[in-house]
Amino acid sequence: MQEAMLSTPSYRQIQELQPVHGGQYLLILQHAHSPEAQQLSEQFAACPTLLVSSDTFSNELKDQLQQAHAGLHTVVCGDEIFLWQMAQNLVAQGLMQDEIELVQTQPELKKVYCVHCGETQTTTAEEFCSCEHCGVSLLIRSHFSQRLGAYMGVCANPDQPMQAEGVCLH
């Protein structure tokens, strides 16, 4: 894959995150049983924890955010697609980007935005994939859009957009 760009997302390591005494934290987990989620649950044991698979997650999140004071810090743990969906949701609810810490699990899943048809898809491919919507062979750039929560996919071979010569597509 290409070198990281300034727009390539970076995620926090669990050992970097320690609750500060007197700070207000909210832990949001995509899955409770991942090693990362279990470690974070131990580190933030005194803080409210929300599990996305809960039937009452939306209401619990709304309640936590309504009761929160300025300076609430959220720690979100899950795959990259989940992290950016949740970050967008939290920003829409009034949190600032600096108040949201993202811990990634399952780094093999990614969302790719096709610049040719404007659609997104989920893939495990590292460098190349075919757009599920328009069929163009895509080179997955390291450029990441936080707004879309996706990497940019551009035509891998402009001379043959439907088939990249010498490229193994996933």
pLDDT digits (tens, 9 = 90+) for 105-114: 988 889 999 9
Least confident of 13-22, 36-45, 114-123, 146-155: 13-22
Mean pLDDT value across residues 81-106: 92
**91: exposed, middle or buried (C-beta count within 10 Å: 0-12, 13-18, 19+)?**
middle
pLDDT at 93 over 80: yes
For residue 166, the model assigns a pLDDT of 44
Mean pLDDT value across residues 91-113: 90
- C-alpha–C-alpha distance, residues 116 and 25, integer Å: 41
Which H or E element spans position 28? strand 25-29
pLDDT band at 6, cuts 50/70/90?
Answer: low
Long-range contacts of 89-98 (CB under 8 A, 24+ apart): 93/61, 93/65, 94/65, 95/65
**Per-residue pLDDT reduced to its tens digit, 124-156:** 988 999 999 999 999 999 999 988 999 999 999
pTM here is 0.81
CATH T-level fold of 14-104: Cobalt-precorrin-4 Transmethylase; domain 1 (3.40.1010)
**Per-residue pLDDT reduced to its tens digit, 43-91:** 999 999 999 988 888 889 999 998 888 889 999 999 999 999 999 999 9
The CATH 3.40.1010 domain(s) of the chain lie at: 14-104
